[in-house]
Amino acid sequence: MDFERSITDMPFEILDLIFEKLKFLKYKVYLAQAHEKLAKAFAFHCRHKFRSLTLDGRLTLDLWEFLIRECGATIEEFIYGGCGRLEKCVALTAVAKHCPNLKSVRILLYRSDRENLPVFLENVKSLPISLKINQQDHFPATFLSAVSEMTQLKEFSFRGYMHENVHHLDKLIALERLSLEDITHYSKTPVDLMRICASLKKLRHLTLIRLQILPYDEPCSTFWSDLEHLCFNYCEFSFELPDCPKLKYLSIEYPNCDIEGYVLKFILKNGKNLTELHERCFPPIDGNGFLDLLRACPKLRCLYTPMEFIKLYAAYVSAMVEILKENGATPEDPLELVVCRRIKWKWFRRLHLRTPDADLIDLYEGTE
């Protein structure tokens, strides 16, 4: 006797092949909605496809909600924002409810979500270890107080309009990477960074862009002595930074410091372990200062610099090469020199081609 069989009687391996033949994601979701077993087969089919989830126009919000419900256990990264839909809080709620293995969240934040975001962060505060927020519209970043409750975070990045709640970030004691960028154009926002960082003992990567750093009278945190990566661009400060002897990467561009010549002094003092340096100092580093910089950074193998106030001539380039020899540079392990002024790059290239042991420098033209 023949038995009637339907698609739901097929094993997952066969259903996986059927889902694979469907060209568009929405057709796969439509099929998965037809039966409970098909929904489980869909989750099996997508077990490696949505480790990183980005909402886009391929599905309506209700279909995304279904997908998140069925595949949520495999989602490890959630990228949110910019899909141009209303009532996106439905997706936020679904992710918070059905994604127990969430490790990373990246949010493109618009005004329409300023009330939904704190609720979402509260619901997932024990899950992700990495959170990046890129604010697009001008409104107070009050949600930073909700971020401060996510004490398991190891990485936090915020690009937006600074708010007084930024001071609550001192609660994120597990942080290893912190990035703060203010996008206010008319003035730099004062931030009590030294106090914020006083409790962040595990911090190793610190990025600060367009901030006014307030002075701090208390003893500085010990994390500075273990810091390996420091980006300090377009910042305003009036005091000497703590020593960072273990720095391997330093980017310091257009700082506004009341202490004359301090930026070069900081590089010379903390350059022992530097392997990559991006500098655009003001006032610019002169010829002697540049040679001192090379001597103070024996491990330096990548240097971005405008060389703006340096008079270039054959003996000067030869002096650079001699310092690099003393630093242990070889043709197999040269200094990558990126000159960010075209006129200086052209002059250096002419001299470089005629310099003995020129292969100790790999020369590139950077952007101005």
pLDDT tens for each residue of the chain, 368 residues long: 455 678 888 888 899 899 999 999 999 999 999 999 999 999 999 999 999 999 888 888 899 999 999 999 999 999 998 655 545 678 899 999 999 999 999 999 998 888 889 999 999 999 999 999 999 988 888 899 999 999 999 999 999 998 888 999 999 999 999 999 999 877 888 999 999 998 999 999 999 999 999 988 777 778 899 999 999 999 999 988 999 999 999 999 999 998 988 999 999 999 999 999 999 988 899 999 999 999 999 999 999 999 988 999 999 999 999 999 999 999 999 999 999 999 999 999 999 999 999 999 999 998 87
Contact indicator for 244, 221 with CB cutoff of 8 Å: no
> What's residue 17's pLDDT?
93
pLDDT of residue 88: 67
The residue among 171, 100, 178, 110 whose CA lies nearest residue 141 is 110
Q: How far apart are CA 26 and CA 8, in angstroms?
A: 19
Burial of 115 (0-12, 13-18, 19+ CB in 10 A): exposed
The answer to whether 154 and 129 have CB atoms below 8 angstroms apart is yes
Task: Give me the amino acid identity at 159.
Answer: R
Provide φ and ψ at 292, rounded to 5°.
Answer: -60, -40
Q: Determine the pLDDT at residue 326.
A: 96
Domain locations in the chain? 7-101, 103-223
Cβ atoms within 10 Å, residue 94 = 18
What does the CA dihedral 354, 357, 358, 362 come to, rounded to 10 degrees? 180
- Pairwise CA distance, residues 92 & 112, whole Å: 13
CB 340 within 8 A of CB 366: yes
**Phi, psi (5° rounding) for residue 367?**
-90, 145
The pTM for the full model equals 0.91
Element spanning 181, H or E: strand 177-182
Judge contact between 249 and 230, C-beta under 8 A: yes
Q: What are phi and psi of 20, to 5 degrees?
A: -65, -30
Which candidate, 9, 77, 17, places its Cα nearest to that of 44? 17
Assigned token pair, 77: 């990264």
* N-terminal to C-terminal alpha carbon distance within the chain: 81
Radius of gyration of the chain (CA): 27
- 307's enclosing H/E stretch is none
Where do runs of H (alpha helix) occur along the chain? 12-21, 25-32, 36-45, 61-71, 89-98, 116-123, 144-147, 193-197, 262-270, 287-296, 314-326, 342-353
